[in-house]
Amino acid sequence: MTTTPATALRGALASLNAPAASSCDELLRALTALGEAQAVLDAAKLGVVGEIVERSALPEPSNPVSRAGHARPATLVAERWGVPVPAARAFCEVGAAIRSRTGLTGETLPARFPALAAAFEGVLAGDPVIFGDSAPLSDSAPLSDSAPLTVDQAVVIVRELTKAAPACALDDVLHGERLLVEHAPTLTIPELRTVAGQVRDRLDQDGVLPRERRQRQRRSLTISTTSDGLTHVDWYVDPESAAYVVTAIDAFVGHELRTVRFRDSAATPEGADACAAPEGVDEYAAPAETRSLPQLRSDAATDIFRHVAGCSARTAPDAVGTTPPVTVIVRIALADLQAGVGLGEIDGIATPVSAGTVRRMAADARLIPAVLGGPSEVLDLGRGRRLFSTAQKLALAERDGGCAWMGCPHPPSYTEAHHLEWWSAHGGRTDLDNGILLCSTHHHRVHDDGWQIQVRESVPYFIPPDAVDPYRRPRRGGRVRLPDAA
């Protein structure tokens, strides 16, 4: 009988076909093995699809697309694999981007995206390519236990850099590609899309203002009523407007989450460092939160509009008649702010804004400009104070971007400042080097499951317990920091 790749793969995976009889450790090992097998299979698919895309421009009989009765490579791939056309199109785009090309005179040209090509070639050869020059935190463990690059991640990189390519030098595009390929395995798709968009705008700064004008023109809010009587609000806002909307809602939601999730630090295991409730709040009587995050956001938006309309805002029991502070943080280099050029970032908003937008927003009384390169205040408080100050939390938010746990999307307003060396049990100091932002879920997970955290050159690394990884390989957390523009 002829052995095909499919039969060989079935034989190799035969030991994984009894999940019901597997232990938890065996299931986790099987999950990892299947992910590795899928990565190898995807890398092989990209090679075949890239060749099909290249030949689709040839005349018959050398054109496999027209030979199969199709007009486009994506529809051919979708039919043969039984996948949606958008998924097939992603394979086509990445396959073409990592394939070497043929010049007008027949010479072989390198792939348009050589770093992506090297990454997938490494997966196929069983020798992953590591980009970047970061050293591991210990001599016995690699820097990260991240998964191989996926096609979904690669297509984000290809699409965003392709938009910037006509407006910048090839070397700049290749540098941006290496940066994104280096960080992509540790990012979720939404996070990678955000970072890739920021790299695109760094490369094509002239394109930011036209895009802002298009975004501003597309703003809209429509209100309709559903068949069951709910009011449906469909709202599109530009990044500048979204800064106020998103930050205000997040502030209200974070206030609600912290109000109902306090617990007594004396009752935590081994005296774990948990945030104390404000004076006057019964830590044991706080009601359990039953609302989902979408419901909390809806209630927060309603409260904001109630307040604007002059009605009594619904607030927490410890703050009757008041509302939590809403702070918008805009980040920009001092030289860019003074010159009126460059890009700014708004906490909680993925899309960069122009320096002109930052200047306009700076007139708002509740806006705090985080000017990179400007003066700062003393942020280390030692043992004289247990809880981190507002200024320290802003500095930690600047470093961590929100919850520092790997892939956690929660903004700074949802987080608690956690001591790496516990204040009560280990005599830890209330200093920036001993602090990290974690949401409530991951704060408890660090304490309860035995994770360790190290901060190296302002980058947090999470070291898992033996039960998660016997080698205890550090995993990078925090937000990806793009290098300063030259």
Same domain? For 365 and 392 the reply is no
Write the burial class of residue 290 (CB in 10 Å: 0-12 exposed, 13-18 middle, 19+ buried). Answer: exposed
Query: Does one domain contain both 469 and 351?
Result: no
What tokens were used for 121?
């070639």
Q: Which of these, 126, 202, 193, 204, lies nearest to 154 by C-alpha position?
A: 193
Instruction: Count CB atoms within 10 A of the CB of residue 124.
Output: 16
Based on the domain organization, do 485 and 437 belong to the same domain? yes
Question: Phi and psi dihedrals of 462, rounded to 5?
Answer: -105, 125
**Same structural domain, 367 and 424:** no
Same domain, 94 and 185: yes
- What is residue 73's predicted lDDT score, i.e. its pLDDT? 95
How far apart are the C-alpha atoms of 258 and 275, rounded to whole Å?
9
Q: Which residues contact 265 (CB under 8 A, 6 or more apart)?
A: 271, 272, 273, 274, 275, 276, 424
Characterize the bridge pairing of strands 343-346 and 459-463.
Answer: unpaired
Find out whether 421 and 388 touch, Cβ atoms under 8 Å: no
Q: Report if residue 118 sits inside a domain.
A: yes
Looking at the structure, tell me whether residues 90 and 146 fall in a common domain.
yes
Residues 347 and 478 in one domain: no
Write out the residue range of the structural domain in which residue 366 sits: 327-372
Kindly report the backbone phi and psi dihedral angles of residue 485, in degrees, each rounded to the nearest multiple of 5, phi listed first. -65, 140
The alpha carbon of 345 is separated from its chain's Cα centroid by a whole number of angstroms, namely 15
pLDDT at site 261: 52
What pLDDT sits at residue 257? 81
Report the number of distinct structural domains present in the chain: 3
The CA angle 127-77-8, to the nearest 5 degrees, is 50
**279 domain residue, yes or no:** no
* Identity of the amino acid at 346: I
Instruction: Tell me the one-letter amino acid at 387.
Output: L
Q: Are residues 344 and 475 in the same domain?
A: no
State which of 163, 180, 204 marks the end of a domain: 204
> By C-alpha distance, which of 333, 402, 413, 409 is closest to 374?
333
Show which of 204, 238, 262 is a domain's final residue.
Answer: 204
Is residue 273, in this structure, part of any structural domain at all? no
In a domain, 223, yes or no: no
Of 372, 404, 425, the residue that ends a domain is 372
Going by their DSSP bridges, the two strands 328-333 and 367-372 should be labelled as parallel
Claim to verify: residue 427 and residue 458 sit in the same structural domain: yes
Q: Which residue ranges in the chain fall short of pLDDT 70?
A: 1-3, 15, 128-147, 260-288, 308-327, 362-386, 422-427, 483-486
Q: Are the C-beta atoms of 337 and 358 separated by less than 8 Å?
A: yes
Q: Are residues 80 and 196 in the same domain?
A: yes
Residues whose CB falls within 8 Å of the CB of residue 337, separated by 6 or more in sequence, listed in order: 344, 355, 358, 359, 369, 371
Do 478 and 348 belong to one domain?
A: no
pLDDT at 378: 44
Q: Does residue 215 lie in a domain region?
A: no
For residue 213, tell me if it sits in a domain. no
Give yes or no for a contact between 327 and 348, defined as CB atoms under 8 angstroms apart.
no
Q: What pLDDT score does 456 carry?
A: 87
Do 407 and 461 reside in the same domain of the chain? yes
Contact (Cβ atoms closer than 8 angstroms) between residue 283 and residue 362: no
Q: Is residue 167 part of a domain?
A: yes
Residue 55 located in a structural domain: yes
Per-residue pLDDT tens digits for 312-362: 444 444 444 555 666 677 778 777 777 777 888 887 777 788 887 877 776
* pLDDT given for residue 159 in this prediction: 95
